[in-house]
Amino acid sequence: MALFDFLGSEFIEVIAWTDDTRDTMVWRFETHGNAIKYGAKLTVREGQAAVFVHEGQLADVFGPGLWMLETNNMPVLTRLQHWHHGFQSPFKSEIYFVNTTRFNNNKWGTKNPIIVRDPEFGAVRVRAFGTYSMRASDPARFMAEIVGTDGEFTADEISYQIRNVIVQEFSRAIASSGIPVLDMAANTGDLAKLVSTAIAPTVAQYGLTLPEFYIENISLPDEVERMLDKRTSMGIVGDLGRFSQYAMSEAMLRGAEAPGGGIGAGIGAGMGAALGAGMAQRVGAGMAQRVGGAMGPWGQIPATAAGAGAYPAVPPPLPSERVWHIAVNGEADGPYGRANLGRMVRDGSFTRDTLVWTPGTEGWQKAGEVDELAQLFTVMPPPPPVPPGLPSS
C-alpha cells in the first residue's frame, strides 16, 4: 500500500501560483522531476498567464480560469505528445507563471545631458526624468525573448533595458520636436506621447507594453539656470536708469545710517554699495577711512587740526543731490532730481499740492511745504496781465 502511495505522489494533480511579492514577473512552478497527471487541474488567477515549455519548446499558454489539462485544452502539447493517436499519459513539462498586471512607478532618467538646438539660446544641454508602468502583454514572446529559463524573473532585471530604450527615443523626440526650452515644461504631456509612441514597437518585441509614461521634469544645467535667473531679474527691473537712481539713493541712505565710522565712513560705504563693484567698494572704504580719520565722530574737524590751521589731506565728498518720489494717481513715481522736478513745474505736472517723499523723512508732504522744493515755485513768473478790453478770467 505504501508503494502505491509513493507512486501516486509522483503525479502532480493541482497546479497554481499565489504571488506574495510586488516585483516578480515570472515564476517557475517547481515539479521536482515529477510528472504532471493527464487531467490535472490548473488554476490561473486574474493578472496571470501560465506558459508550458515541453522539451525546450514553448507549448500552450493559458489565461485566467480553471483548466483541466486534457487534449482539447492543450493542442500544442497534444501534438508534441502524440496524444491525437489516443494515448494519454502523464507528462513532464516546465510551467512558468507570468504576472500580467501593471508594474508601476518604474523610474527613468537621462544619465548624461542631451544637447538640443533651441531657437532662442542656441545649443543647450537638458536633463529629464520621469516614471512609467509596464506589463507583459504577450507572455509567450516575453518568455522567449527575455526570461528564458530564469526560475524567478523580477521587474528590476528588465527595467535597465527599458530605461535605455526610453532615453534613446526621448533624445530623438526632444531633438526633433522644435519646442523651445522655455516652453518644454508646458508641453511635457505632448512630449510624453511622442516618446511613448516611439517606444511601443521596440518594447513590443519583448512582449511588453508601457500603459503609462510620464515626464516629470526637464531641466537645464545649473550655470545656465543661474544666467536665466539674471536675465529674468533684468526683465523685472525694467528701466535700468531709473532703477540705478533708486538703488543709489537707497545705498546712500543705508550708508548714512550705518553705525560706527562716523558720517564720512557711512557715506563712503553707501557709495561703495551703490556702485556695486569690488573696486568701487575698496575706493569707498578707503575714502571713508581717510575722511573718517580726519573728522571727529560727529563730522567735525578735530581741534588739533583746526587750531593748527590744518585740514584733512583728502577733501570731503561732495554733497549728494537728494532725490524725491512723487505721488501720481495713488502710486509712487520716481525718484526725480530737482532738475527733473523743475521741468515738471513748467509743464504743470508738478504743483505745490503734489505729495512728495525722500529717504529720511517720516511721511509724505505737499511739495509747497518743503523748503527745498518751495523754491521751484517762487521762480515761476506771475500770470501776464489781461489786455484792456478782454474779460478777466
Instruction: Give the other-Cβ count within 10 Å of 341's Cβ.
Output: 20
Dig out the grid coordinates for 176 from the structure.
526633433
Fold annotation for 103-224? Tetrahydropterin Synthase; Chain A (3.30.479)
Q: What share of the chain is helix, strand, coil (3-state, %, to 5)?
A: 40, 25, 30
Q: pLDDT of 78-135, one tens digit each?
A: 888 878 767 778 888 899 999 999 999 999 999 888 888 888 888 888 899 999 999 9
pTM of this structure: 0.55
Given a contact cutoff of 8 angstroms between Cβ atoms, the answer to whether 64 and 37 are in contact is: no
Q: How confident is the model at residue 265 (pLDDT cuts 50, 70, 90)?
A: low
CA distance 357 to 20: 75
The pLDDT > 70 percentage for the chain reads 74
Residue 390: predicted pLDDT: 59
- Min mean pLDDT across 66-70, 146-150, 176-180 is at 176-180
Q: How confident is the model at residue 343 (pLDDT cuts 50, 70, 90)?
A: confident
CA distance 126 to 228: 14
Considering 17-31, 204-218, 245-259, 370-384, the range whose residues carry the highest mean pLDDT is 204-218
Residue 77 sits at φ, ψ, to 5 deg, of -65, -35
Q: How big is the CA angle at 10 (ends 6 and 12), to the nearest 5 degrees? A: 135
| Start-end of H helices in the chain | 2-8, 75-81, 139-142, 156-176, 188-204, 222-237, 240-257, 262-275, 278-294, 303-307, 338-346, 371-378
**Could you tell me which of 285, 259, 254, 262 has the C-alpha nearest to residue 272?**
285
CA distance 354 to 87: 112
> CA–CA distance from 169 to each of 179, 183, 192, 211 (Å)?
16, 20, 11, 16
Comparing 30 with 4, the larger pLDDT belongs to 30
Is residue 47 predicted with pLDDT exceeding 60? yes
